[in-house]
């Protein structure tokens, strides 16, 4: 067992009941307070542990890191040291925060330099993302979309159960939680129109996803096996991969998503390490037909992560519109990374990979308004008397997620984004 995952650990830092940020979690992010420059921190309870100042005070001398790894506005420098170094760092932080360790907790003067309230902090996009790939790996979502746009007997395309389908997206428009977006514009072709029209998207949708972030991995020409994949995955975050369904529906043949997707994708600010999620591994679905050998894997490679998406109208209350779970994915991260590299594609530090919309097997467990409203035919009723087929201007979409087992909770916080009117 990874030392920092010990379920018996308790922190001297106060951790509220049902907090996502327990001592068994210790996710990494980038933050600033007041006029200070952005730097690397770790979430614990309602606090942020400042790794830059912690290093300067000499508490991280026995780790392979340097000050510049933490005095930086992205996690990438820290991540360059690789998985074993980050594991060593997380174990060291766990020791320092352990309630039985007096090394740090009694030094009030130093605590004021290294512990800050999350409520006082500004959070930043945690990783400098150069490349972004989005997958399409939830069978229920793919089936639902196939039913909506084709028919139930031919819902899944012929390739779907043979390869983890994906496409390369736009990394420049990946934004951190709390960054508002404007309703996109583009060409669309209404069902009754003979020619396309130009205008604001009327079918703006969220997609409930997770994302994983990689370390430096294979050089160009080499591939990564499903067995090796865990060594190159730094961690996971919540991911809202926005979609303009009307723009996408007109443009996607023959080359797939473009303007319907590249206007924004929202990422939660804390990266939960794959190490912290190890206790929540679970078995995946039986894959039939049998996959090619390079996609075969051993052990439990799926993860039990409870997910929820909520809509908050301007001035109104949050309304839960769907609950799902990452364990419902057909293709896991190991298979996605193995497929991504089987042709020799190189994987780099800070690359981001979207899971694809995560939908569960029943109504109430769908990960997009396209499915929740069944393409607008079943509007979702809101407590204020309004209804939602898709997302309205000034709605805020919130996604939350956590894993929990034997009383230990490891969560992601949330990704929250307000939709402003089109410019």
SS3 state at 142: helix
Provide the β-strand partners of residue 48. 43, 116
For residue 276, the surrounding DSSP H or E stretch is helix 274-277
Listed in order, strand segments (DSSP E) in 136-196 are 166-168, 174-176, 181-182, 185-188
pLDDT number for residue 234: 98
pLDDT number for residue 164: 98
pLDDT number for residue 417: 98
Q: Any idea which fold 3-123 has?
A: SH3 type barrels. (2.30.30)
Token output for 128 = 């400098």
Q: Which parts of the chain sit beneath pLDDT 70? A: none
Q: What is the pTM of this model?
A: 0.98
Which residues are designated catalytic?
Answer: 141
**DSSP characters over 71-85:** SSSSSHHHHTT-HHH
CATH of domain 132-420: 3.90.850.10
| Backbone torsion region of residue 407, taken as left when φ is above 0, otherwise alpha when ψ lies between -120 and 50, otherwise beta | left
In the chain, where are the structural domains located?
3-123, 132-420
Distance of CA 94 to the CA centre of its chain: 23
Q: How many C-beta neighbours within 10 Å does residue 35 have?
A: 5
d(CA 89, CA 44): 15
- What does residue 266 show for φ and ψ, rounded to 5 degrees? -105, 130
219-233 pLDDT per residue, tens: 999 999 999 999 999
pLDDT number for residue 1: 85
d(CA 370, CA 69): 42
d(CA 264, CA 247): 14
Instruction: Confirm if 416 and 397 have CB atoms less than 8 A apart.
Output: yes
Q: How many C-beta neighbours within 10 Å does residue 266 have?
A: 26
Please list, in sequence order, all residues whose beta carbon lies within 8 angstroms of the beta carbon of residue 11, skipping any fewer than 6 positions away: 22, 23, 44, 45, 97, 98, 99
110-122 pLDDT per residue, tens: 999 999 999 999 9
Provide the β-strand partners of residue 117. 47
Token output for 349 = 């530090």
Instruction: Confirm if 185 and 200 have CB atoms less than 8 A apart.
Output: yes
């Amino acid at each position: 067992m990874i030392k920092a995952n010990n379920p018996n650990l308790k922190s001297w830092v106060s951790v509220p009941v049902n907090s996502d940020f327990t001592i068994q979690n210790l996710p990494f992010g980038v933050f600033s307070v007041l006029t200070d420059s952005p730097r690397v921190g770790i979430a614990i309870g309602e606090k942020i542990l400042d790794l830059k100042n912690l290093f300067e005070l000499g508490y991280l001398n026995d780790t392979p890191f340097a000050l510049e790894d933490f005095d930086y506005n992205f996690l990438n420098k820290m991540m360059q040291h690789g998985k074993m170094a980050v594991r060593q760092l997380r174990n060291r932080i766990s020791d320092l925060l352990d309630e039985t360790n007096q090394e740090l907790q009694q030094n009030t003067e130093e605590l004021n330099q290294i512990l800050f309230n999350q409520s006082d902090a500004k959070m930043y996009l945690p990783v400098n993302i150069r490349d972004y790939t989005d997958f399409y790996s939830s069978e229920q979502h793919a089936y639902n979309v196939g039913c909506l746009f084709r028919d139930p007997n031919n819902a899944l395309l012929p390739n779907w159960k043979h390869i983890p389908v994906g496409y390369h997206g736009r990394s420049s428009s990946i934004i951190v939680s709390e960054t508002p977006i404007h309703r996109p514009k583009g060409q669309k072709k209404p069902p009754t129109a003979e020619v396309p029209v130009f205008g604001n998207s009327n079918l703006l949708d969220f997609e409930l996803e997770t994302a994983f972030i990689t370390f430096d991995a294979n050089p160009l020409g080499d591939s990564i096996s499903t067995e090796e994949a865990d060594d190159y995955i730094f961690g996971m975050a919540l991911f809202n991969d926005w979609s303009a369904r009307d723009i996408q529906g007109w443009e996607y043949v023959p080359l797939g998503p473009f303007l319907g997707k590249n206007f924004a994708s929202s990422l939660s600010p804390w990266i939960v390490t794959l190490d912290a999620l190890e206790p929540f591994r679970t078995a995946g679905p039986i894959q039939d037909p049998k996959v090619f050998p390079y996609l075969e894997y051993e052990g439990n490679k799926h993860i039990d992560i409870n997910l929820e998406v909520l809509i908050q109208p301007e001035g109104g209350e949050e309304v839960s519109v769907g609950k799902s779970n990452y364990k419902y994915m057909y293709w896991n991260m190991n298979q996605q990374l193995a497929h991504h590299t089987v042709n020799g594609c190189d994987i780099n530090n800070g690359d981001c990979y979207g899971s694809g919309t995560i939908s569960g097997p029943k109504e109430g467990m769908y990960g997009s308004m396209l499915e929740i409203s069944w393409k607008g035919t079943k509007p979702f009723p809101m407590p204020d008397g309004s209804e939602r087929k898709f997302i309205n201007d000034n709605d805020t979409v919130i996604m939350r997620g956590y894993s929990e087992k034997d009383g230990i909770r490891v969560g992601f916080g949330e990704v929250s984004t307000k939709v402003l009117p089109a410019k």
